[in-house]
């Protein structure tokens, strides 16, 4: 079945078109061109600001011109992740989206339903004559997934609306009224290297097959971090034999839990079997610890390739492993106000080794600003103790819930009228652009909702087809009520 044949067709046709163009963060030109063209072909005004954000100004349905302007907000970019062994050029190709039973997914890559479905829902209103609404401003930002630079560059005067529906959340039937703030830490460990050692075997050890996922939405599920697992194995091996470390790598996105990590380790040739046995023992330990959470967990040991790096000096290797072991990862605190909501977390996101350094990236989040500062402070303190450089920049604010919101009241009433049930109301442990936009435009009333998306930020990403129809119908219901 083709994506375009799904219902509502007016939405899925736009999603299929977006999926077909490259739109990784900072590479949104083709997506922006598509939405601008869609507006122009229908005689609807659209503008693009100096940052690359797009706003489409959709006139009201006849008879509703006097209603307040509503902003529909989403982002044009997507996270670009692929399975090991998948050959895909995200810079120049879109993804291949396929229907798989009651889900839509991609083949070996992220799907981009985050936030392509939200963008497609907004664009669907350009053609949907059954939709009743007041004036709409469709705000589509760039670079949400790697720094939110589009939202940060937004000028308040560009928008008339002061009520905003963010279409970038991922749980069917849930209304989001708040989000976490966050900040990244960029760490660099400078290296010195020794000559290749005699009597040692160079081995490549890899942890793979993990679920990964969104470092905000999935961080409370105890999904394993491949870098952390690999470090535990290497630290134990270094305590038991004269191990020398050549490199350690894993993860490549600050907002994704690392699914794979690998290292080049030099071990005494006579101890190779011992190292392999130790790796198998740790594999069994990790499988017991993760239970059913990580059924695909694997550890592989193989001869390192000929182009392997030289070993780090012993102090550099110890500093690298100790710091990676010490940096926090996972849920660090739960909300006292909203059930089952992670309040504070940190993600050990990236380790990347070059000839002269190991680069480490962590991403920390909290809905409580002082707590976020404390977590970032603990990371900086660990780096000072290790004697390495840590740069913390690019933070973004959280979005404080407003339970007296007019949008929230209308959405609750609409849900009750359409489905005979109250919606779930909560906050999200992820960085929505609402926090930045709310700070730039004081008094903006905001609400976020979306369809059921699972595995965002990983190649397991998929969206439930039936939930997309409910999401779009609910969006139209809220717009009708506001008109």
Catalytic machinery residues: 77, 144
Tell me the Cα Rg of the chain.
24
Q: Tokens at residue 286, please?
A: 């990790």
Q: How many helices (H) and strands (E) does the chain have?
A: 11, 21
**Cα 136 to the center of its chain, rounded Å:** 27
Report how far residue 34's alpha carbon sits from residue 25's, in angstroms, rounded to the nearest whole number.
16
Residues 193-232 as b or e (16 or more Cβ within 10 Å = b): beeeeeebbbbbbbbbbbbbbbbbbbbbeebbbbbbbbbb
Under DSSP, is residue 429 helix (H, G, I), strand (E, B) or coil?
A: coil
Q: Tokens at residue 435, please?
A: 């926090």
- Which helix (H) or strand (E) segment holds residue 407: the answer is helix 406-419
Q: Tokens at residue 97, please?
A: 């989206």
Q: How many residues appear in the chain?
A: 483
- Which helix (H) or strand (E) segment holds residue 469: the answer is helix 465-482
Asked if 142 and 150 touch (Cβ cutoff 8 Å), the reply is yes
Asked if 133 and 66 touch (Cβ cutoff 8 Å), the reply is no
Asked if 417 and 178 touch (Cβ cutoff 8 Å), the reply is no
Residue whose token pair is 């598509």: 34
Asked if 74 and 167 touch (Cβ cutoff 8 Å), the reply is yes
Residue of 182, 197, 65, 232 lying closest to 134 (CA atoms): 65
Backbone φ, ψ for residue 336 (5° rounding) = -90, -10
- Which helix (H) or strand (E) segment holds residue 413: the answer is helix 406-419
Report how far residue 436's alpha carbon sits from residue 53's, in angstroms, rounded to the nearest whole number.
14
Instruction: Give the orientation angle of helix 314-326 with respect to helix 369-386, to 10 degrees.
Output: 160
SS3 of 339-373? CCCEEEEEEEEEEEECCCEEEEEEEEEECCHHHHH
Q: Going by DSSP bridges, is the β-strand pair 136-141/70-75 parallel, antiparallel, or unpaired?
A: parallel
Residue whose token pair is 């030099």: 266
Asked if 174 and 396 touch (Cβ cutoff 8 Å), the reply is no
Asked if 90 and 24 touch (Cβ cutoff 8 Å), the reply is yes
């Amino acid at each position: 079945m083709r994506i375009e044949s799904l219902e509502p067709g007016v939405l899925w046709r736009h999603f299929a078109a977006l999926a077909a163009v490259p739109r990784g963060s900072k590479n949104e030109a083709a997506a922006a061109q598509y939405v601008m063209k869609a507006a122009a072909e229908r005689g609807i005004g659209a503008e693009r600001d100096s940052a690359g954000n797009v706003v489409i100004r959709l006139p009201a349905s006849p008879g509703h011109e006097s209603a307040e302007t509503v902003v529909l907000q989403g982002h044009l970019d997507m996270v670009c992740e692929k399975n090991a062994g998948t050959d895909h050029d995200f810079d120049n190709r879109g993804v291949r989206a396929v229907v798989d039973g009651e889900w839509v997914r991609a083949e070996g890559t992220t799907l981009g339903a985050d936030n392509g479905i939200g963008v497609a829902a907004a664009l669907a209103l350009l053609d949907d004559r059954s939709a009743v609404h007041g004036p709409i401003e469709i705000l589509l930002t760039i670079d949400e997934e790697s720094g939110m630079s589009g939202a940060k560059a937004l000028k308040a005067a560009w928008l008339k609306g002061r009520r905003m529906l963010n279409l970038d959340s991922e749980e069917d039937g849930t209304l989001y009224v708040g989000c976490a703030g966050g900040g990244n830490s960029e760490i660099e460990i400078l290296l010195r290297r020794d000559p290749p050692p005699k009597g040692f075997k160079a081995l490549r050890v890899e942890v793979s097959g993990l679920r990964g996922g969104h470092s905000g939405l999935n961080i409370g599920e105890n999904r394993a971090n491949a870098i952390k697992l690999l470090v535990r194995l290497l630290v134990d091996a270094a305590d038991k034999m004269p191990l020398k470390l050549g490199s350690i790598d894993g993860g490549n996105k600050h907002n994704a839990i690392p699914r794979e990590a690998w290292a080049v380790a030099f071990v005494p040739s006579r101890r190779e079997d011992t190292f392999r046995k130790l790796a198998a023992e740790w594999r069994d330990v990790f499988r017991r610890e993760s239970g059913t959470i990580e059924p695909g967990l694997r550890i592989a040991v193989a001869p390192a390739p000929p182009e392997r790096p030289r070993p780090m000096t012993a102090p550099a290797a110890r500093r690298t492993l100790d710091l990676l072991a010490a940096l926090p990862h996972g849920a660090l605190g739960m909300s006292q106000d909203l059930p089952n909501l992670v309040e504070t977390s940190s993600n050990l996101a990236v380790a990347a080794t070059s000839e002269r350094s190991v680069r480490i990236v962590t991403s920390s989040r909290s809905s409580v600003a002082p707590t976020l500062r404390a977590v970032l402070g603990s990371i900086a303190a660990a780096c000072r103790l290790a004697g390495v450089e840590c740069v913390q920049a690019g933070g973004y604010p959280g979005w404080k819930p407003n339970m007296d919101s007019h949008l929230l009241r209308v959405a609750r009433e609409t849900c009750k009228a359409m489905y005979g049930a109250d919606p779930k109301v909560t906050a999200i442990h992820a960085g929505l652009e609402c926090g930045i936009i709310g700070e730039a435009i004081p008094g903006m009333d905001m609400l976020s909702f979306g369809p059921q998306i699972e595995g965002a930020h990983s190649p397991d990403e998929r969206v439930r087809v039936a939930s997309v129809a409910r999401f779009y119908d609910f969006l139209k219901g809220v717009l009708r009520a506001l008109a």
